[in-house]
Structure 1
Amino acid sequence: MAGKRLFQDLDSDQDQNNSDKRIKSLPSFSSVLGALITETTMKSFSSALEPVLRKVVRQEVEYGISKRFRFSRSSSFRVEAPENTTPTLKLMFRKCLMTPIFTGSKISDVDNNQLEIILVDGSNNQVNLDRPIKLDIVPLHGDFPSGEKWSSDEFESNIVKERDGKRPLLAGDVSLTVRNGVATIGEIVFTDNSSWIRSRKFRIGAKVAKGSSDQGVAICEAMTEAIVVRDHRGELYKKHYPPMLEDEVWRLEKIGKDGAFHKKLSSMNINTVQDFLKLSVVNPEQLRQILGPGMSDKMWEVTLKHARECVLGNKLYISKGPNYFMILNPICEVMKARIDGHDFSSQEALNQHYVKDLVREAYLKWTLLEVSERTRNETALSTQGDGLEQQYAEGHYHNIEINRSYQQNGYVHESVTNNSEIVNEGYLSTPAEYDICFIGSSSQNHINPF
């Protein structure tokens, strides 16, 4: 019995030992939990890493494809042009832009017409190809190019991208076609101002669209002059170029609307550009005194120069008395005078103190003067049959032409027959009356690599 009990105890101890070994061989709860967390983390990491890897692989594939089929570096016309091809043709904007330019406002050329792009050769002769060429219109940095030549890669790198969250910088007819050597931009506007880029200015560029080709012919890009684009909210306060006689005086440079200079002029009943110009002729010292020391000499010159770009129109003012008769233009300048039977031209009258006194008197009674509007076929002024008026009409109002297309540039070439004194001190005189040639810049001045 004792031996049997001994064997039972040994079996019991062995079972207990085996049970303890089984318990010890089982994984702990913490290790199972750690394994589960590790597996979950790896799956999450793999899921997060997968799109990144896909993107990297895709970019590398695209880069390899683009590198394999890279376009030529010499010109924007690169689909069929061989490597290192020198452009033989170029695009060119026919005319300069009308300024100022505001966001949302239609952009036009200096003559207020639609912008035109022409295809020319190295001698700027227009070229007519027998097939159309597609163009892209793009915004460029205003300080590009730094020299007289550029590569198409430089052109591409200077295209301005819109700011985050903004519309494309140029909107409208940004894709067009050259036919018979000419492409017309129907309507194009800037959607953002130029204050946020390094140069504070934009250019408008034109390049041959990708995919358009012409049997390997290389065509150089075109660009306009650099221009400031202002926010449209400033259009209500914009200056006029050129100013008009009836414009409010704050339309002149350096005179802000409701600013100190505007208030000083208004207090002296100088409300329009015509008022400003009249006093600048009759008594410039008084006008300068009204503006005060706050307007520096440099500012004064800028304001006066802008005012003198004003188109004077075709009105004439008659001032007469018992022994004199004077014809004045709209800003109180003497066009012709007869005093005590002696005739004076405008230049001669400037040196006559008596004439100056008569002009000041006419200025003070300006609203009482007789007014006449001259046309090409009109006869002399009908004032008591005076021979001076007949002579004046015959000398100035026959065979009269004017080219108005470049008035905005402010350059005047005096070519008036008989009496060249009509154009005085830089003013743009009667636009429908006098033979004046305005000389301005054209697309010949555009920078290009030729």
Structure 2
Amino acid sequence: MSQKRQQEDGKAPSETNSPEDKRRRVPALRNVVQEVMKMQSVQHLLEPVLEPLIRRVVKEEIDLALRKHLNNMKRASGKEVNSPESRSLQLQFENNLSLPVFTGARIEGDESSPLKIALFDAHSGQIVNSGRISSAKVEVVVLEGDFETEENDTWALEEFKNNIVKEREGKKSLLMGDAFLTLKEGIGLVGEISFTDNSSWTRSRKFRLGARVVDNFDGIRVREAKTESFIVRDHRGELYKKHHPPDLFDEVWRLEKIGKDGAFHKRLSRENIHTVKDFLTLLSVDPPRLRHILGTGMSPKMWEVTLEHARTCNIDKRMYLYSPSGCQRKSGVVFNVVGQVMGLLSECQYVPIDKLSESEKADSQNLVIYAFEHWEEVVSFDDEASLMGSSSVFTNVLHSSSSPKMENASGSNMNGLDDYALHGIENMALTYDQPGFPAHVTNSLMGDMESMTQAFCDEDHLRFFNSDLHSQNMNLDSPADLQSAVDDFLLARSTEKAQRRWT
């Protein structure tokens, strides 16, 4: 066994030290020289570029780590932060910033309101509205976007100061305007301030706003306030910013994922989709067509983002009723200004959309499409309350829709579904805003002169006519007076008949 093992051991050196293995292991001198030259040339090219960048990044990270370490040591030793005075009072921003923020534009809160700063008692959670400190002077400053704390959102005074951002060399002060305010009963409003520079040059590419008390109150520490981080863009981008929420008459490129003069904007413009209202109308009456117009360049995710943004639009409360002539004056569809079905009129009863079956919803949508093609037969209401306010309105609306067609106040007609903009829809003459009956109803009752003559000859009818004349002391000598009396008679008579039909 030992001889065999010796033989195997004896073979190993000869096998491992074969000439082929040596040639395989040792690279050629030429290759070695080439590799060395390549490495030297790459190092020579990259060193001037990478070295300053690496030095700056390392310096920033080391400074940040050192500051955090020192602040943690201060917290552990109980200095400043853990004292009762430092934890008792704190400033807070009461509302969020209105985003996006642009250079040169006023910094505002939600819904274009001024930013509000309040002084709170940290223990009670109440605003400090009395005492000398409730009238403290406060300064608004700019902070680094990555100024964050890990422990109960507290920080040392020195840490806050180290995160204040100063303007770039050769630039104006970073905040323009009145950065100081005085609290009144613990509350103050930030005046007109704006940024003079964007935030792209900072290490986090973002800013925060901070607020600190300037006055000294016997060494009492008032903890500073800070907002969430945000990006500040150059004012040039404000011309192209999106609106949140969008308005019905905003241009369609104000919607997310549709850039001004971009491919999607041009495709929509070619199909007469110019406003958010046009976009929503086509989305209501023919979603596949709208998707086809935007094409495959708009991914499903982009499509959902655009729809979600468009649906946040504030829709006009005005409602529209359409009843086709073949529905025996008892049925119709109710929809809003962008063609969304709101409900059905069934047997003179209004049924909201949430009470409709799927088949009824589909039929209602088809009626809306037909309504756009026959817009002269559509009647408008101020809102749902006016639509449901008087049951007699339904009878007369349906009656007028089955009589000879009426034109818009502007004299324009809808040309089918090719015009999704619905220009002039608010100028419709057929508005039934009051519980009573408008003068338009009388037009449909004057078509049959023979029946009107018989109505005058009927004693039962003449009592309305005579009583109305006596009440107004009218003189029927002129044709105009006679026409006015006829109009009043027809209106009173049609009202009585409509009420009888309903009851």
TM-score band by shorter chain is 0.5 to 0.7
What does the per-residue CA deviation read over 1:178-218, in whole Å, with 9 as the maximum and x for residues that have no partner? 23101111211111112222322221110122xx1222322
In structure 1, the residue matched to 2:201 is 196
- The CA distance in 2 between the partners of 1:214 and 1:117, in whole Å, is 19
2:318 equivalent in structure 1? 315
Distance 1:144 1:284, change over 3 A: farther
Q: How does 1:284-433 map to 2 (within 5 A)?
A: 284-322=287-325, 323=327, 324-339=331-346, 343-349=350-356, 351=358, 352=360, 353-365=362-374, 369-374=378-383, 385-386=393-394
Q: Is this contact kept in 1: 2:350–2:388, CA < 8 A?
A: no
- What is aligned with 1:241? 244
Does structure 2 conserve the Cα–Cα contact (< 8 Å) formed by 1:246 and 1:274?
yes
- Asked whether 1:130 is paired with 2:131, we answer yes
**In the alignment, is the contact (CA less than 8 A) between 2:97 and 2:110 conserved in 1?**
yes
Cα distance, 1:281 vs structure 2: 2.2
TM-score, normalisation: structure 2: 0.57
- Structure in which a larger fraction of residues adopt helix: 2
- Give the aligned length: 311
Q: What is the alpha-carbon distance in structure 2 between the residues aligned to residue 350 and residue 283 of structure 1? A: 20
Q: Does the 8 Å contact 2:81/2:155 carry over to 1?
A: no
Of residues 154, 168, 172 in structure 1, which corresponds to 2:173? Answer: 168
SS at match of 2:293: helix
Alignment pair present for 1:258 and 2:261 = yes
Contact preservation (8 Å) 1:350, 1:356: no
CA contact under 8 A between 2:320 and 2:334: conserved in structure 1?
Answer: yes
Q: Deviations over 1:218-277 (max 9, x none)?
A: 211111222222211111111111100010100011100000000111111111111111
Q: Which runs of 5+ in 2 are unaligned?
A: 1-73, 398-503
Distance 1:81 1:254, change over 3 A: closer
Amino acid at match of 2:393: G
Q: Tell whether the 8 Å contact from 1:119 to 1:127 is kept in structure 2 after alignment.
A: yes
Q: Conserved in 2, the CA contact under 8 Å of 1:282 and 1:363? A: no
Q: How much has 1:151 moved relative to structure 2?
A: 2.4
SS in 2 for 1:386: helix
Q: In the superposition, relative to structure 1, how do residues 337 and 216 fare at CA in structure 2: closer, same or farther (>3 Å)?
A: same
Residue 138 of structure 1: SS of its match in structure 2? strand
Cα contact 1:81–1:217 (8 A) shared by 2: no
- 2:143–2:210 Cα contact (<8 Å) kept: yes
Tell me how large the CA RMSD over aligned residues is.
Answer: 3.0
Partner Cα distance (1:161, 1:182) in 2: 27
The aligned residue for residue 97 of structure 1 is 97
Question: Distance between the aligned counterparts of 1:245 and 1:232, measured in 2?
Answer: 25
Distance in structure 2 (CA, Å) of the matches to 1:367 and 1:252:
31
Report the secondary structure of 1:385's partner residue.
helix
Matched, 1:232 2:241: no
Superposition deviation, residue 313 in structure 1: 2.4
Partner of 2:115: 115
The within-5 A match list for 1:54-93 is 86-93=86-93
Partner of 1:158: 163
In structure 2, relative to structure 1, the CA distance for the partners of 1:287 and 1:379 (3 Å cut) is: closer
Q: Which has the higher contact order (CA 8 A, sep 6+)?
A: 1
Provide structure 1 residue ranges, at least 5 long, that are not aligned to the other structure.
1-72, 390-450
Match of 1:276 among 266, 276, 279: 279
Give the partner amino acid of 1:139.
Answer: V
**Amino acid in structure 2 at the alignment position of 1:362:** A
Q: Match of 1:243, as an amino acid? A: P
Structure showing the higher strand proportion among its residues: 1
Give the direction of change, closer, same or farther, for the CA distance of 1:380–1:344 in structure 2 (3 Å limit). closer
Superimposed CA distance per residue, residues 44-73 of structure 1 (whole angstroms, 9 cap, x where no aligned partner): xxxxxxxxxxxxxxxxxxxxxxxxxxxxx7
SS in structure 1 opposite 2:87?
coil
- Contact kept? 2:240, 2:254, Cα under 8 Å: yes
Does structure 2 retain, via aligned residues, the 8 Å contact 1:91–1:117? yes
